[in-house]
Structure 1
Amino acid sequence: MAPSVGEFYAGKCILVTGGTGFVGKALVEKLLRSCPQLDTIYLLLRSKKGQTSEERLKDLCSNKLFELLREKDPDAFQKVKLIPGDILEEGLGMSNDDRVELQRRCNIVFHSAACVRFDQKLKDAVNLNTVGTHRVLQLAETMENLEVFVHLSTAYCRCELDMLEEKLYPAVHNPRHVMHICEWMDDDLLKYLEPELIKSEPNTYSYTKAITEDLVAEYSKKFPTAIARPSIVTAAWKEPIPGWVDNLNGPTGLLVGSGKGVIRSMHCEPSYTADAVSVDVVVNGCILIAYATALDKPRNISVYNITLSGVVKISWGEIIELGKKWVDVYPHTVALWHPGGNIKSYYWQHVLCVFFFHIAPAYLLDGLLFLLGKKTFLVNVQKRISHGLNVLQYYTTKEWHFRNDRFLSLRKRISEEDDRTFYIDLSTLSPDEYLKYYVLGTRQFCCKEDPSTLPRARKLNKIRYVVDVVCKTLFFVLIAWLLYSYRDIFTSSVELLDNTLKSLPPISKVKAEGVDEILGS
């Protein structure tokens, strides 16, 4: 009889990299709460933004995410041990004593540390996502009692493929060669070569994740290894807090930006199927992947696509409409304008809307602020929003399908009780209810707005709605007045354009005689 999930993790020592990231936080919380008999969770943390590793660990444990754990088992935090270090440094920047302890005691490694910025320079992305992973693999190779190594990748690691299967794909370039050229090559030359190097992928994040999988596979002959490929990771579905999210990446930024009236247009094909998975399902999947891989001890790498495919089908258009519905029910207290706008299937239609509803108002309002002697900010905000939308819109104007049979089959290996605890079945998810808690979560955890502010927010939202209607009415009245006042100029312009078009030779003549001959005559 195979042990239960809880029995398997009992007495285990686990190393987690990226423990302060979105997925990392949720993974640590779930392990402490649902695997209470584990021995130790080692967290590799570096100093950052003037905070020491110890201060970052303290902030992590005081996060709202751990509130349920603090009530249920406050002593669980004693099982978390800090390992000061940095994946950007040789030897991970850790002390010899910490290294020896990990080599002697560590049983499971969850490697989730990565840079998730899509616009990162190639050298920086390679150092974080590929070289950093290599250093963690080198440490894992020296661990005496290692049972499994789980590497978090992404389902969007091979964007040139319409269908991604649960298998390893050969890297476009040898990861060791890429690491080598990033080490010695001049920054300007590397910047020049970057578009050609990553041309198979839309950005450096996807490219480095793709080549890093090949590097991880090299070590699968030395210890049991698995790759978890989640699709877009979104707010928590069920636990520990429905709607919990702590970043503005991807769809979360879109929800907040549109809810605050800043985003009025988005280039998207509404009929395309979206694939996004809640962070709690991703974490449960990783825990089960480690469990199954350690028991099976495969000689080859195991790949799992943690995706919606074949379980829930929902389009981008449906998601955006549900988001708009709940943003109107749970508005923001502080917003630039009333939520509005919509998605555009045609790129040039979107560009025109961006100019009239994003850029022009930003310059107009910043101009007024400048004249009033106030600090301007809207133009810079719009630049950041445009950049973020350009990144996201690559994924909303294409469609992918993912095979996830191996991932879904994990449920067959565990008991009904474990299936309830480490749930990965998304078939019962209600998109409408999920988006409701998602909007509430972005409001509370990303924008720091307490639920008690909702009555005031709704009143302000009604005022913003009236202002929006009045401004639109005045705008159309102004356009009508201009057309009426300058109708003679408008009529003359139309006539001039019509006469010009009539004077042009027929297209058939152009094709027959050539442009040069016609212009010459």
Structure 2
Amino acid sequence: MAPSVTEYYTGKRVLITGGTGYVGKALVEKLLRSCPDVDTIYLLLRSKKGLSSEERLKDLCNNKLFDVVRSQNPGVFRKLKLIAGDILDDGLGISNDDRAELQKNCNVIFHSAACVRFDQKLKDAVNLNTVGTLRVLQLAETMNNLEAVLHLSTAYCRCELDELEERMYPAVHNPRKIMDICKWMDNSLLEYLEPKLIESEPNTYSYTKAITETLVEEFACKFPLAIARPSIIIAAWKDPFPGWVDNLNGPTGLLIGSGKGVIRTMLCTPHYTADAVPIDVVVNGCILIAYATALDRPRTISVYNITLSQVISISWEKIIELGRKWVLVYPHTMALWYPGGNIKTYAWTNRLAVFFSHQIPAYLVDSILFLMGKKTFLVNVQKRVSHGLSVLQYYTTKEWCFKNDNFLNLQKRISVKDNDTFFTDLKPVDTDEYMKNYVLGARQFCCKEDPSTLPRARKLNKIRYVVDVVFKVMFYVLLLWLLYSNRQVFTSSIEFLDSTLKSLAPIKNVRADSDDEVYEMQM
């Protein structure tokens, strides 16, 4: 009899990289809460933004995400052990004592540390996502009791494919050669070559994730190894509480931006199917993949696509419709304008909408602020919004197909009790209820707006609605007045154009000076 999931993790020592990231911290919380007998969770943390590794670990433990597990067992954080280091440093920058402890005791590695910025320069993305992964794998091959390594990739690692299967694909370029190029090549030359190097992918994130998978596969003969490829990761469905989200990446930024009236248009093919997975399902999937890998001890790499495919089919149009519905029910206290706008199917209509509903209002507001002696901000905000939308729109204007049989079969390998705890079946999701919780979660955890502010927010939103209607009426009245007052100019322009066209009537028998040849011009 195979052990249950909680039984397997009993007494285990787990190393997590990227433990303060969105997936990393959710993974730490889930292990502490649902695998209470796990022995130790090692967290590789670096100093950042003036905070030491110790201070960052303390901040992590104080995060609201851990409220449930903290109330259940206040002493549970003693299971967390800091490994001060950095994946950008040789040897991960860890001490000899920490290295020796990991080599002796570590049983499972979850490698989730990565740069998720899509606009990162190639050299930086390679150093973080590829070279950093190599350093983790090199440490892993020195561990004496290692049972499973899980590398977190992305379902969008091969965007040129019509269908992504749960298997390995040969990299466009040898990852070791790319790492070598990024090491010695001049920055300006590398920037010049970057578009050609990554032309198979939309950005450096997807490109480095693709080549890194090939690098990971090199180590499959040395220890049990698996790759998890989640699609777009969004707010929690159930755990530790519905709607939890703490970053503005992807759809969350779109949800908040539109709710605050900053985003009023985006390019999207509305009937295309969206593929986004709640963070708690991604984390449960990672825990189960590591569990299955440790039990099976495969000699080749295992791949799991953590996606909605074959489970739920929902269009971008439906998601946006539900988001708009709940944003109006649970509005933001602080907002630029009343939520509005819509999606555009054609690039040219979207550009027009961006000009009139994003750029003109931004320059108008900043001009007023400048004249009042206040600090301007909206033009810069709109530039960042436009950049973010340009990245997201690549994924909303293409149909994606992912095979995920390996992922779906995970729930068949475990007991009913384990399935209740480490749920990966998304069929029961009520999308309307989920979007309601998503809006509330983004409002509370990203925008730091307490639910108690909702009554005031609703009053302010009614005022914004009235102002929005008044401005629209004023705009159309002004437009009609301009057309009416300038009708004579308009009529004169039409008459001038008409007379000009008549003057260009067919001209015949025009003799060429050079060769006396007769030409006939027909307009």
Query: By the TM > 0.5 criterion, same fold?
Result: yes
C-alpha deviations, 1:216-255, integer Å up to 9, x for none?
Answer: 0000000000000000000000010110000000000000
Aligned to 1:112: 112
Aligned to 1:471: 471
Aligned to 2:516: none
**Counterpart mapping for 1:103-502 below 5 A:** 103-496=103-496
C-alpha deviations, 1:96-134, integer Å up to 9, x for none?
Answer: 000000000000000000000000000000000000000
Provide closer, same or farther for how the CA distance between residues 480 and 425 of structure 1 changes in structure 2, counting only shifts above 3 A.
Answer: same
Secondary structure of the corresponding residue to residue 220 of structure 1: coil
Provide closer, same or farther for how the CA distance between residues 496 and 33 of structure 1 changes in structure 2, counting only shifts above 3 A.
Answer: farther
How far the C-alpha of 1:75 sits from its partner, in A, is 1.6
Aligned to 1:512: none
C-alpha deviations, 1:4-54, integer Å up to 9, x for none?
Answer: 001111110000000000000100000010011111000000000000000
How far the C-alpha of 1:488 sits from its partner, in A, is 1.6
Secondary structure of the corresponding residue to residue 237 of structure 2: coil
C-alpha deviations, 1:57-90, integer Å up to 9, x for none?
Answer: 0000000000000011112111000000000000
What is the alpha-carbon distance in structure 1 between the residues aligned to residue 94 and residue 503 of structure 2? 78
Which has the larger Rg? 2
C-alpha deviations, 1:375-403, integer Å up to 9, x for none?
Answer: 11111111000000000000011111100
Aligned to 2:65: 65
Secondary structure of the corresponding residue to residue 277 of structure 2: strand
What is the alpha-carbon distance in structure 2 between the residues aligned to residue 382 and residue 263 of structure 1? 8
Taking only the aligned residue pairs, the percentage that are identical comes to: 75
How far the C-alpha of 1:518 sits from its partner, in A, is 9.4
Equivalent AA in structure 1 for residue 294 of structure 2: A
Provide closer, same or farther for how the CA distance between residues 448 and 519 of structure 1 changes in structure 2, counting only shifts above 3 A.
Answer: farther
Aligned to 2:89: 89
What is the alpha-carbon distance in structure 1 between the residues aligned to residue 236 and residue 445 of structure 2? 12
Equivalent AA in structure 2 for residue 335 of structure 1: A
What is the alpha-carbon distance in structure 1 between the residues aligned to residue 520 and residue 135 of structure 2? 68
Provide closer, same or farther for how the CA distance between residues 329 and 173 of structure 1 changes in structure 2, counting only shifts above 3 A.
Answer: same
Equivalent AA in structure 2 for residue 194 of structure 1: E
Provide closer, same or farther for how the CA distance between residues 144 and 358 of structure 1 changes in structure 2, counting only shifts above 3 A.
Answer: same
What is the alpha-carbon distance in structure 1 between the residues aligned to residue 358 and residue 520 of structure 2? 43
How far the C-alpha of 1:491 sits from its partner, in A, is 2.6
What is the alpha-carbon distance in structure 1 between the residues aligned to residue 60 and residue 187 of structure 2? 35
How far the C-alpha of 1:495 sits from its partner, in A, is 4.7
Aligned to 1:510: none
Aligned to 2:512: none
Equivalent AA in structure 1 for residue 375 of structure 2: K
What is the alpha-carbon distance in structure 2 between the residues aligned to residue 386 and residue 51 of structure 1? 31
C-alpha deviations, 1:150-191, integer Å up to 9, x for none?
Answer: 000000000001110000010000000000000000000000
Over the residues paired in the alignment, what is the CA RMSD in angstroms? Answer: 1.6
Equivalent AA in structure 1 for residue 327 of structure 2: V
What is the alpha-carbon distance in structure 2 between the residues aligned to residue 497 and residue 346 of structure 1? 31
Equivalent AA in structure 2 for residue 465 of structure 1: Y
Equivalent AA in structure 2 for residue 422 of structure 1: F
Secondary structure of the corresponding residue to residue 218 of structure 2: helix
Provide closer, same or farther for how the CA distance between residues 349 and 95 of structure 1 changes in structure 2, counting only shifts above 3 A.
Answer: same
Secondary structure of the corresponding residue to residue 227 of structure 1: strand
What is the alpha-carbon distance in structure 2 between the residues aligned to residue 300 and residue 379 of structure 1? 52
What is the alpha-carbon distance in structure 2 between the residues aligned to residue 226 and residue 346 of structure 1? 40
Provide closer, same or farther for how the CA distance between residues 459 and 137 of structure 1 changes in structure 2, counting only shifts above 3 A.
Answer: same
C-alpha deviations, 1:256-293, integer Å up to 9, x for none?
Answer: 00000000110101000000000000000000000111
What is the alpha-carbon distance in structure 2 between the residues aligned to residue 489 and residue 92 of structure 1? 72
Aligned to 2:514: none
What is the alpha-carbon distance in structure 1 between the residues aligned to residue 191 and residue 133 of structure 2? 23
What is the alpha-carbon distance in structure 2 between the residues aligned to residue 6 and residue 132 of structure 1? 30
How far the C-alpha of 1:502 sits from its partner, in A, is 8.2
Equivalent AA in structure 2 for residue 63 of structure 1: N
Secondary structure of the corresponding residue to residue 401 of structure 1: coil
Provide closer, same or farther for how the CA distance between residues 487 and 93 of structure 1 changes in structure 2, counting only shifts above 3 A.
Answer: same
The two structures have a TM-score, normalised by structure 2, of 0.96
The two structures have a TM-score, normalised by structure 1, of 0.96
Aligned to 1:514: none
What is the alpha-carbon distance in structure 1 between the residues aligned to residue 141 and residue 500 of structure 2? 76
Aligned to 1:36: 36
What is the alpha-carbon distance in structure 1 between the residues aligned to residue 9 and residue 504 of structure 2? 79
C-alpha deviations, 1:331-371, integer Å up to 9, x for none?
Answer: 00000000000000010000001001100111111111111
How many residues are matched? 511
Equivalent AA in structure 2 for residue 491 of structure 1: T
Provide closer, same or farther for how the CA distance between residues 361 and 104 of structure 1 changes in structure 2, counting only shifts above 3 A.
Answer: same
Secondary structure of the corresponding residue to residue 354 of structure 1: helix
Provide closer, same or farther for how the CA distance between residues 500 and 355 of structure 1 changes in structure 2, counting only shifts above 3 A.
Answer: farther
How far the C-alpha of 1:492 sits from its partner, in A, is 3.1
What is the alpha-carbon distance in structure 2 between the residues aligned to residue 406 and residue 505 of structure 1? 73
How far the C-alpha of 1:489 sits from its partner, in A, is 1.6
Equivalent AA in structure 1 for residue 486 of structure 2: Y
| Higher mean C-alpha displacement, 367-376 vs 195-204 | 367-376
What is the alpha-carbon distance in structure 1 between the residues aligned to residue 500 and residue 137 of structure 2? 70
What is the alpha-carbon distance in structure 1 between the residues aligned to residue 162 and residue 94 of structure 2? 41
What is the alpha-carbon distance in structure 2 between the residues aligned to residue 95 and residue 88 of structure 1? 15
Aligned to 1:7: 7
